[in-house]
Amino acid sequence: MNDTVVARPVLDGARVQGGGAFDGFVRSGTTIELKAFTGTTGDQGGFAIPREIDAQIDAVLKNASPIRGIANVVQVGSAGYRKLVTTGGTPSGWAAETDARPMSGTPTFVEIAPPMGELYANPSASQAMLDDALFDVEAWLAGEIAAEFAKAEGQAFVNGNGVNRPRGFMQSPTAATNDATRAFGTLQHLPTGTAGDFGANGAERLIDLVQALRAPYRQGATFVMNAATAARIRKFKTSDGQFLWQPSLVSGQPATLLGYPVVEAEDMPDVAAGSNAVAFGNFRMGYLIAERTETSVLRDPYSNKPFVTFYATKRVGGCVSNSEAIKLLKFAAG
């Protein structure tokens, strides 16, 4: 690898005002150090965002992209991530002291390969804004990228079709059969008994949904729905007049329903005939997000003068990893 050193300011200056290396790159395009695998270098290479800014983006993404906050997020080094999932334990049996021990069954493995795509954002700023010493360039850039990424991620983790993007959990096939007989990769849905409505007793339907999830998965389980569905459920009461919905008493903590946290995801469908408008499950065990750790940025001051465009990319994938860990409430007669 050839190193072409043009200038080398202090490399830990991502937070240093006025002299940071990345700050200089964002404001004026100053080249710090170029790495290339060939003998030639150019101005078309990507620059990794410093760790401090990358962490800031991840924090905003977790807050703005609700599924990311409850799913299993893994950092990968390439786009070819694979995960093995066992669909059954090792069978065992009882025997007397002198009985023969016949061969028992062996566990079955399924390979999970989350579909991946390149998430990108194209924020722009005028050169005058970048030249203003009072303007926090790094905070602006991180905020712009996080807002764009969170919007795209929120949709993909719920309804993504898996083509050059994650496959959302709502795109998985569903069946009314239980875990013992349902095919791997198929989520279980529980019909409400009434098309487009909760039926005579919505509270009982929610209890059925909770209890359909086996006990090992209920530890850490979460309700997922959009705001319109949450507004309807918040009005449900028990026979003695108590609300099922318990608002949070601590800032930053989610409200609870039947003792479980509620996460609002605006990409979830509304209550309608045949829709799966409420999800309940342990998303940490049921949904996998795989992403490259680096967010790369290209600075383009030429294409749209007097604006400077920053082209940011990050590879993200996702899919259901355990179809037993997520259940859906289907608003249908059967």
Give me the pLDDT at residue 27, please.
Answer: 66
Using a 10 angstrom Cβ sphere, with 0-12 exposed, 13-18 middle and 19 or more buried, the burial of residue 9 is middle
Would 196 be classed as within a structural domain?
Answer: yes
CB-based contacts of 246, cutoff 8 Å, min separation 6: 255, 256, 257
The answer, yes or no, to whether residue 287 has pLDDT greater than 50, is yes
The pLDDT > 90 percentage for the chain reads: 41
Of 189 and 153, the structure prediction assigns the larger pLDDT to 189
Provide the 8-state DSSP code for 161: B
Tokens of 25: 């790159």
Tokens of 204: 């009982």
Quote the pTM value.
Answer: 0.77
197 and 271 Cβ atoms separated by less than 8 Å: yes
Of 70 and 129, the structure prediction assigns the larger pLDDT to 70
pLDDT in tens, 160-181: 999 999 999 999 999 999 998 8
Which of 201, 182, 200, 178 has the alpha carbon at shortest distance from 190?
Answer: 178
Give me the pLDDT at residue 30, please.
Answer: 58
Which of 287, 87, 277 has the alpha carbon at shortest distance from 182?
Answer: 87
Using a 10 angstrom Cβ sphere, with 0-12 exposed, 13-18 middle and 19 or more buried, the burial of residue 308 is buried
Instruction: Give how many domains the chain has, as a whole number.
Output: 2
Would 73 be classed as within a structural domain?
Answer: no
Would 205 be classed as within a structural domain?
Answer: yes
Confidence of residue 208 (pLDDT cuts 50, 70, 90): very high
Would 272 be classed as within a structural domain?
Answer: yes
- Torsion sign across C-alpha atoms 134, 135, 138, 140: positive
As beta bridge partners, residue 313 has 120, 296
Would 219 be classed as within a structural domain?
Answer: yes
Tokens of 2: 């050839």
pLDDT in tens, 221-263: 999 999 999 999 999 988 888 888 988 877 778 889 999 999 9
Residue type, 273: A
Query: What does DSSP say about strands 260-264 and 2-5: parallel, antiparallel, or unpaired?
Result: unpaired
The pLDDT > 70 percentage for the chain reads: 82
Helices 137-159, 51-64: axis angle to 10 degrees equals 40
* Domain enclosing residue 15, as ranges: 1-45
Confidence of residue 91 (pLDDT cuts 50, 70, 90): confident
Of 252 and 298, the structure prediction assigns the larger pLDDT to 298
The answer, yes or no, to whether residue 144 has pLDDT greater than 50, is yes
Give me the pLDDT at residue 38, please.
Answer: 38
Tokens of 79: 């786009």
Confidence of residue 22 (pLDDT cuts 50, 70, 90): low
Of 30 and 101, the structure prediction assigns the larger pLDDT to 101
Mean of pLDDT over the chain: 82
Confidence of residue 41 (pLDDT cuts 50, 70, 90): very low
Alpha helix (H) residue ranges in 160-214: 202-212
Would 114 be classed as within a structural domain?
Answer: no
Helices 21-28, 137-159: axis angle to 10 degrees equals 90
The answer, yes or no, to whether residue 80 has pLDDT greater than 50, is yes
Give me the pLDDT at residue 108, please.
Answer: 76
Give me the pLDDT at residue 263, please.
Answer: 93
Would 203 be classed as within a structural domain?
Answer: yes
Would 231 be classed as within a structural domain?
Answer: yes
Specify the CATH number for the domain of residue 208: 3.30.2320
> What mean pLDDT comes out for the span 120-144?
78
For residue 217, the tally of other CB atoms under 10 A from its CB is 20
The answer, yes or no, to whether residue 7 has pLDDT greater than 60, is no
Of 29 and 131, the structure prediction assigns the larger pLDDT to 131
Most confidently predicted of 53-57, 60-64, 159-163 = 159-163
